[in-house]
Amino acid sequence: MDIVLRATLMFAIVFLLLRVMGKRELGQMAPFEFVLLVVIGDLIQQGITHNDFSLTGATLAICTFAFWALVLNAIAYWSPRAERLLEGEPEVIVQHGELLPHAMARNRLTKMEIECEMRLAGIARLSEVEWAVLENNGKISFIEREKVAAGEAEITWEAGESRGAAAGIGRGE
């Protein structure tokens, strides 16, 4: 039972740590950060199983992590409010071709990172972007002005909508 309690506590700590790291950090890990994540995994294992190196202890720890992951996924699936809390919301970082400094600062994004992602998406200039959205998975989605003008993409904005819903995404509750 001790392993289950320690695994539950470590799950909560890791979950909070990953939320604090932010969307972009997980989407673009440097090699050092990847190694650090592996080392953290080993440290977590030591903290959970302590001196219990049995197959039963390992199985209990793994099953506890899997259980809590499934519980949080189920809660997020059934409750839009919990989903926003647990997984975050997409955030608009470029609006009408202009960078949104407050959103960039909140997500620790630089202009250079956004321009790099634009180039990867085949967009040459910021003025070509109607909206850019930092998705929950750390990737940036771009909606080009040309597509909005041609009616190929629709952007909605209503008072009181969430940041994600402002770009025509999310549930907009």
What is the chain's pLDDT, residue by residue, as a tens digit (173 residues)?
788 888 888 888 888 887 777 665 555 666 666 677 777 777 777 777 777 777 887 788 888 888 998 999 899 899 999 988 888 888 999 999 999 999 999 888 899 989 999 999 999 999 999 999 998 878 899 998 877 767 766 655 443 344 444 444 443 33
Q: What is the pLDDT of residue 138?
A: 82
Q: Which two tokens stand for residue 112?
A: 């250079």
Q: What is the pLDDT of residue 47?
A: 77
Q: Which residues of 61-77 are buried (b: 16+ CB within 10 A; e: fewer)?
A: beebbeebeeebeeebe
CATH entry, 89-166, from 3.75.10.10, 3.30.1490.20, 3.30.240.20, 2.102.10.10: 3.30.240.20
Burial class of residue 54 in the structure, from the number of CB atoms within 10 Å of its CB (0-12 exposed, 13-18 middle, 19+ buried):
exposed
- Report pTM: 0.64
Q: What's the DSSP call for residue 165?
A: H
Backbone angles phi, psi at 164, to 5 degrees: -65, -40
What are the domain boundaries of the chain?
2-86, 89-166
